[in-house]
Amino acid sequence: MEPAGAPPQGCAPAREAEEPPGSPALPAEEPPGEGALPAATGRERGRGCRGAGPQGPPERAARGRGRWAPGRRGGEEGARDGRRPRVTVDSSKAKTSLEALKISLRQLRWREFPFGRRLPCDIYWHGVSFHDNDIFSGQVNKFPGMTEMVRKITLSRAVRTMQDLFPLEYNFYPRSWILPEEFPLFVAEVRMMKDSDPSWKPTFIVKPDGGCQGDGIYLIKDPSDIRLAGSIQSRPAVVQEYICKPLLVDKLKFDIRLYVLLKSLEPLEIYIAKDGLSRFCTEPYQEPTLKNLHQVFMHLTNYSLNIHSGNFIHSDNANTGSKRTFSSILCKLSSRGADVKKLWSDIISLVIKTIIALTPELKVYYQSDIPAGKPGPTCFQILGFDILLLKNLKPMLLEVNANPSMRIEHEQELSPGVFENVPSPVDEEVKVAVIRDTLRLVDPQKKKRKDTQCQTLEHVPEAKEELLEAGPAGRAECDTPQSPEAELPSLCLKQVFPKYAKQFNYLRLVDRVAALFIRFLGVKGTTKLGPTGFRTFIRNCKLSNSNFSMASVDILYIDITRRWNSMGIDHKESGMCLQAFVEAFFCLAQKKYKSLPLHEQVASLIDFCEDHLAALDERRLVCGRGLVERRNAVVPCQSDGLPLTPAAHAPLLHRTATSSKFTDYRSHRC
C-alpha cells in the first residue's frame, strides 16, 4: 500500500480531479456532445497532480493513523458541547460493503450503528435491496424495484423502447433479443442480415437473465447453436451481438466499471464518479473463432472469473495488473493521442440516457412501495455501469448493476488451496471515495444547514449567488472549521443531471407516459393498471371516438395485457404493466398521428393527453369550489382513479374476446 500523500506512479493519472486542466483524467465543465467531461472545481485544479489526492491517500491516512477516528471529537459529545449532532447510519444490513462504509463513516465522523438502533437512524445502508429492512423514515441507499429493473431482460426491454423512439441516440447498446419469446425473431433477423451482407460473420453472446459474474454466459456463431434442449424454456436469457473488436490495452480485452449515483428520481439527479475500475482479461484477445469461443479468460472480463486464471496479476499500483483505475487507462490513451474528453462526454451521455430509460418503471415501483402521503424513506443508490470501449473509443453499455461490489479486499491464494483476504488498494481508493462522497451528497445535516444558510442569505443576495454558483464542492468549502468536510478532499462525484438536462430532456417521453399511467393506477400500492383505469384514461383524454369505440379500447387492453402477462414477467398482480401500457400508448399515437416519425407521434399524443387532463383538473377545481358552495350537492365530481379493486379488473381480463371484437380492434390497429 502506498504511504499517505505519496505521489502516484508513472504518469500519475490515478486521481482525475488532481490533474491540471486539459489533462486526460481531469473532467472539464462543458456539456456532453461538445467534447467535454464532468466538472472540476478550481479548487481541484489548484491542487496539481501530485500529493494527497481526493480519493486515495486520505482514506488510507484515516485507516492508518486514525485521523478521522470516531470519538476524537464531534458526535453526541459534539452535540452536547454545542457542535452539530452527528449523522446516524444503520450499517446492520451493509453486507459486503461494510468495510468501505466503515472507513467512510470514520472519515466523516458520523455515528455508525452496526447492530441497528431502536430509534430511527438518518441513513440506512442496505447491501442488497430496498426491502432488506422495513424503513419508514430517513434515507435508504436503494430504490425499490432497482434490482428488477437492471436484470438483463428488463434492461434490454427498457433500452429497446428507447431505441424504438430514438434509434440513433440509443445505439450504445448491442442489438439484443429476449429468449425464449424472441427466438424465432432472432433466427429470422440474423438470416435476413446475413442474406443482405454475406460477408457478415457475427458472433453472439448468450446471457441468462438475472445471472451475474459471467455465470452461464457462452458465445455462439449461429442461432442454431443456442442450447435449446430444455434450457431455453427453463432459463430466460438475452442473446446479444458480441462486440468483436473491443479496444485492447496490453493486447488484453478490458471493461470499465463506473460508479453512478442516482441521488433522486423526482427531480432526477445523477452524479458520476470521476474514477472507476478497469477489469482485464487474462489471455491475449483474439477475435472470436470456433476454436477460441470457449476461452472465458480471453472473452469475459469478469473479475470473478479471471481471478482464477494463473495469469491474474494482483497489483497495488493503479496503472498495472488485472484491475486498474479507469483514470490510468485514460492516461495511457491520452499518451497515444486519443481524445479522452470526447470519450468522457460520450460516457456521460450513455449514463444519462440509460437512466432515462430506467426511470419510468422505477417511478411505478416507487409509488407502489412509498405511496405519496404515506410515511416512508427517501432513496438514493449507487449503480455500477459496465462499459466496453470499441476500437474507435465509442463506449458500449454491457450492463447496469444494482449492487456493484464494494469489497475493498480480494482473495489471494497464499499457497495451493490456502486463501486469505488481503486489502486491495485499487478497490479501496475508488470505492471508499464513492461511498464517502455519496454520503456527503445526501447528508441530512447539510440540507438542514443549507436551509438555515439560505434563510440567512435571503438577506444578503450577493452572498447567496456565490454559494449557489459554487456547487456542492464549493459549498463544502463553506463548512465551519470544525466540520470534517473542511478536511476532506473535494467530491469525486460530479453532477451530470440536471446539469445537462437541457440536452437530454427531450428523451424523457416514456417518463411522461409513466406519469399518465401512474395517475390512472387508482389503487395505492399497485403497479398494474386495471381495465377500468385504462378506460378512464381513454375517456378522460378523449381518445375514443366513432373510429375507436370503447369496445375496441377493451380489446386493445386485453390483447396487449395478455401478451405481456404471458411473457411471465410478474404474475403477482393481474392487469396491465407499464411496458404494456407504453405499447398501447405507442399504438394509439400511431393511429392518431399517422405520418409522423414515432417519437413525434408519441410526443404529440402526450401533449394531447396532458392538455385534456389539465383542462379536466381545472374543471374539477371549479366544480370542487361549486361543491363547497353548494354544501349538500348530491353528485360529486368523478375521480380519475375509479375505486378499482383487483376484483374489478378480473371480469374483463378473464372474458374471452369474441372474434368480432378482435376484428373490430384489428381494423383500427396501428
Sign of CA dihedral 218, 224, 229, 231: positive
Least gap, CB of 325 to ligand ADP (angstroms) = 17
Distance, in Å, from the CA atom of 102 to the CA atom of 69, rounded to the nearest integer, reads: 10
Q: Nearest distance from residue 301's CB to ligand ADP, in Å?
A: 4
Q: Which three cell numbers stand for residue 88?
A: 446516524
- Interface pick for ligand ADP out of 161, 278, 302, 579 (rule CB under 6 A): 302
**Contact window for ligand ADP (CB under 6 A) among 207-215, 221-229, 325-333, 581-589:** 207-215
Nearest residue (CB) to ligand ADP, 19 versus 386: 386
Compute the least distance from the CB of residue 143 to ligand ADP, in Å. 19
Query: What backbone phi and psi angles, to 5 degrees, belong to 235?
Result: -130, 105
Shortest Å, Cβ 292 to ligand ADP? 13
Which one of residues 93, 109, 207, 649 is an interface residue with ligand ADP (CB under 6 A)? 207
Give the chain's radius of gyration (CA, Å).
Answer: 27
Of 6-14, 136-144, 211-219, 475-483, the segment contacting ligand ADP by CB under 6 A is 211-219
The verdict on 215 binding ligand ADP (CB under 6 A) reads: yes
Among 70, 211, 423, 646, binds ligand ADP (CB under 6 A): 211
- What distance in Å separates the CA atoms of residue 231 and residue 494, rounded to the nearest whole number? 43
Query: Would you count residue 174 as binding ligand ADP (CB under 6 A)?
Result: yes
Scanning 107-115, 294-302, 436-444, 585-593 for contacts with ligand ADP by CB under 6 A, the matching segment is 294-302
Angstrom distance (rounded) from CA 74 to CA 96: 28
Q: Which residues are CB-contacts of 666 (< 8 A; sequence separation ≥ 6)?
A: none
Min dist CB 104 to ligand ADP, Å, is 26
Listing DSSP states for 231-254 in one string gives HHHHS-EEEEE---SB-EETTEEE
Distance spanning both ends of the chain, measured CA to CA: 63
Distances (CA, A) of 157 to 77, 515, 638: 52, 19, 35
Of the ranges 118-126, 206-214, 413-421, 474-482, which one interacts with ligand ADP (CB under 6 A)? 206-214
Of positions 68, 242, 344, 520, contacts ligand ADP by CB under 6 A: 242
Distances in Å between the Cα of 236 and the Cα atoms of 181, 184, 232, 577 are: 9, 14, 6, 19
CB 317, min distance to ligand ADP, A:
23
Strand 176-179 relative to strand 123-126: parallel, antiparallel, unpaired? unpaired
Binding mask 373-402 for ligand ADP (x = CB under 6 A): -------------x-x---------xx---
| Contacting range for ligand ADP; rule: CB under 6 A; set: 212-220, 408-416, 474-482, 623-631 | 212-220
Residue 174 or 530 with smaller CB distance to ligand ADP: 174
Query: Which residue, 37 or 400, is less far from ligand ADP as judged by CB?
Result: 400
Q: Which is nearer to ligand ADP, 106 or 207 (CB)?
A: 207
Q: Which is nearer to ligand ADP, 47 or 207 (CB)?
A: 207
Burial class from Cβ neighbours inside 10 Å (0-12, 13-18, 19+) for residue 419 reads: exposed
Of the candidate residues 19, 112, 255, 640, the single one contacting ligand ADP (CB under 6 A): 255
Does residue number 171 form part of the binding site for ligand ADP (CB under 6 A)? no
Binders of ligand ADP in range 436-475 (CB under 6 A): none
Distances (CA, A) of 12 to 26, 51, 248, 330, 637: 12, 10, 21, 11, 68
Can residue 329 be called a binding residue for ligand ADP (CB under 6 A)?
Answer: no
| 306 near ligand ADP, rule: CB under 6 A | no
The stretch near ligand ADP (CB under 6 A) out of 37-45, 58-66, 185-193, 214-222 is: 214-222
Q: Kindly tell me which of 301 and 526 has the beta carbon lying closer to ligand ADP.
A: 301
CB of 146 to ligand ADP, least distance (A): 15
d(CA 484, CA 124): 21
Q: Which of residues 35, 51, 85, 214 is near ligand ADP by CB under 6 A?
A: 214
Nearer to ligand ADP, 389 or 541 (CB): 389
Distances (CA, A) of 447 to 75, 142, 438, 581: 18, 20, 14, 38
- Give the CA count within 13 Å in the CB-facing half-sphere of 590: 12
Distance CA 149, CA 162 (A): 15
Under the criterion CB under 6 A, does residue 478 sit at the interface with ligand ADP?
no
CA atoms within 13 A on the CB side of 305: 20
Q: Spell out the SS3 assignment of 43-111.
A: HHHHCCCCCCCCCCHHHHHHHHHCCCCCCCCCHHHHHHCCCCCCCEEEEEECHHHHHHHHHHHHHHCCE
CA 43 to chain centre: 29
> By C-beta, is 306 or 359 nearer to ligand ADP?
306
Smallest gap from residue 117 Cβ to ligand ADP (A): 34
Contact region with ligand ADP (CB under 6 A), list: 118-126, 235-243, 328-336, 515-523 = 235-243
Residue 129 CB, nearest distance to ligand ADP (Å)?
Answer: 17
The answer to whether 243 contacts ligand ADP (rule: CB under 6 A) is yes
Type and span of the H or E element at 270: strand 269-273
Q: Is 179 a binder of ligand ADP (CB under 6 A)?
A: no
Q: Which residue has the cell 407499464?
A: 578
What gap in Å lies between CA 160 and CA 167, rounded to an integer? 9
Residue count of the chain, please give it: 670
Q: What is the DSSP letter of 272?
A: E
Answer yes or no: are the C-beta atoms of 451 and 457 closer than 8 Å: no
**Shortest reach from residue 213's CB to ligand ADP, in Å:** 5
Scanning 236-244, 318-326, 355-363, 417-425 for contacts with ligand ADP by CB under 6 A, the matching segment is 236-244
Cβ atoms 357, 306 nearer than 8 A: no
Conformation bin of residue 222: beta by default, left when phi > 0, alpha when psi is -120 to 50: beta
Nearest CB to ligand ADP, comparing residues 35 and 211: 211
Note whether 301 binds ligand ADP by CB under 6 A. yes
Number of residues that bind ligand ADP (CB under 6 A): 20
Q: Does 361 bind ligand ADP (CB under 6 A)?
A: no
Query: Would you say 50 or 308 has its CB closer to ligand ADP?
Result: 308
What is the closest distance, in whole angstroms, from the C-beta atom of residue 147 to ligand ADP in the complex? Answer: 13
Q: What is the contact surface with ligand ADP in residues (CB under 6 A)?
A: 174, 205, 207, 211-215, 217, 240, 242-243, 255, 300-302, 386, 388, 398-399
